[in-house]
Amino acid sequence: MLHRFANPNRFLRLSAALLPWTAGLTLVLLIAGLYLALFASPADYQQGETVRIMYVHVPAAWMALFCYSCMAGASAVGLIWKHPLADMAAKATAPIGTCFTFLALVTGSLWGKPMWGTWWVWDARLTSVLILFFLYLGYMALHNAFDDPTRGARSAAILALVGFVNVPIIKFSVDWWNTLHQPSSVVKAGGPAIHPSMLTPLLLMGLAFTTYYLWVLLLRLRAEIVAGKVRAVRLRRVHG
């Protein structure tokens, strides 16, 4: 199964069939999630209307970790099994994960100002997410730092795997250290601590962000494959 879609043409056919579905699901889930988040869900009894930032901040933070995990997994596949699309998938994921991480940092800052009285604190969770943002930037910079694309992909893959240690640190930082950031309210022993009227739009927004990632990933992978074919044609003409 790992090598079934190693053939770029086969992958292009599959992705062409999946693109309309991922785009449609993203649109439907995003509209439903935003409607419930902005109009149907109640204001928090302590935070008031500012709690609505949660419906963007929390899914963006989830996706920041999810994208990095996917990038590290694809990097491992590329290093170990030399899968031709694995390095492309990792490279295509990096900018998407960077945007999600930046969105999580910005919305967290906007949420923190009315709740904590400051835009930023060197909290364990916030600091580790900032490190994640720099890891994304470092991966992209390293990938493009070499004239030989193979060396760049290998170096960036090693950085992605080494940096993966930051993912569990982010996840468990609120449990390991005393922080201002609230602990997990969705995935926890005993079930979610959020009322269904707030949990439903939160999960819908999380699904919308996930399908958006898949949609953009397929688009970027297709672009990488086409660009690779163009480079190959040019090289054949140069050496022809």
Q: How far apart are CA 220 and CA 17, in angstroms?
A: 15
User: Helices (DSSP H) in 118-195: which residue ranges?
Assistant: 124-143, 149-163, 166-176
3-state SS assignment for residue 9 = helix
Q: How far apart are CA 162 and CA 157, in angstroms?
A: 9
Residue 86 CB: number of other CB atoms within 10 A?
22
C-alpha distances out from residue 126 to 6, 83, 84, 91, 131, Å = 38, 35, 35, 25, 9
State the average pLDDT over residues 158-175: 93
pTM score: 0.92
Give me the pLDDT at residue 133, please: 98
Instruction: Return the HEC string of 72-103.
Output: HHHHHHHHHHCCCCHHHHHHHHHHHHHHHHHH
Which comes out higher in pLDDT, residue 5 or 120?
120
Q: Is the pLDDT of residue 149 over 70?
A: yes
3-state SS assignment for residue 139 = helix
Per-residue pLDDT band for 57 (boundaries 50, 70, 90) equals: very high
Considering only CA atoms, give the Rg of the chain.
Answer: 20
Give me the pLDDT at residue 188, please: 62
State the average pLDDT over residues 24-37: 98
C-alpha distances out from residue 67 to 20, 44, 96, 114, 212, Å = 21, 30, 8, 29, 12
- Residues 75-98 have pLDDT tens digits of 999 999 888 899 999 999 999 999
* CATH class of the 10-184+195-239 domain in this structure: mainly alpha
Whole-number average pLDDT of the chain: 90
Give me the residue spans of the domains in the chain.
10-184+195-239
Per-residue pLDDT band for 56 (boundaries 50, 70, 90) equals: very high
